[in-house]
Structure 1
Amino acid sequence: MDDNSLLGKVVHSKSGRDRNRYFIIVGILNEDYVYISDGDLRRIEKPKKKKIKHLIFTDIIAQDIKELITNNKKVSNSMIRKFLQVEEV
């Protein structure tokens, strides 16, 4: 699995306290874990470490956020919130 293939993907949590919430993958730890953020409860400064098997992947990719992450630029929480808000509707 290519490291950058998961970055920026919108996922749906299927277990844990954050069940039924949408997140964006903002980092990849290894083949089992990723870092997710929703810009609200899980801010970009402290993303949640989550097992991949506890996530439902959508076909939606936050392309702007993915590019910022891959270029080591700053991603704002409001940017993540806005993207998830628009995509959930």
Structure 2
Amino acid sequence: MDVFKIGMLVYSKAGHDAGEAYLICEIEDEYLYLVDGQKKTLDKPKKKKKRHVQRTNSIYDIQTSDDVAIKRVIKEALLGENKEDAYV
């Protein structure tokens, strides 16, 4: 059973982009194709091995999205996480 889903928010654990947030746009065997709406767009997603990302429980509907919508979703998700941390 695969624990990764299209639209899931993930964080890079390895490489020069460690700590960056992405959404999964495609899953292929041991690889994920990741987008952030800025550097990595739907036209040119980042290919990364599953073991090099940290998954979250957040899943978003990105089937009809464009890069601007993806960028907005990631920004709102990151702001939401920071708000939760502020109230702890």
The TM tier, using the shorter chain, reads 0.7 to 0.9
Number of paired residues? 79
Please identify which structure carries the higher helix content: 1
Runs of 4+ in 1 over 3 A off after TM superposition: none
CA distance in 1, matches of 2:55, 2:77: 14
CA distance in 2, matches of 1:21, 1:2: 22
Instruction: Report deviation, 1:59.
Output: 0.7
Instruction: Report deviation, 1:29.
Output: 1.4
Letter in 1 for 2:22: F
Larger Rg: 2
Counterpart residue number, 2:70: 80
**1:44 correspondence with 2:34:** no
| Counterparts of residues 27-66 of structure 1 (less than 5 Å) | 27-30=26-29, 32-62=30-60, 64-65=61-62
Aligned Cα root-mean-square deviation (Å) = 1.5
Question: When the two structures are superposed, what TM-score results if normalisation uses the length of structure 1?
Answer: 0.82
Q: Deviations over 1:63-83 (max 9, x none)?
A: x21xx2xxxx5x310010000
Counterpart residue number, 1:14: 13
Gaps of 5+ in 2: 80-88
Gaps of 5+ in 1: none
Instruction: Report deviation, 1:6.
Output: 1.2
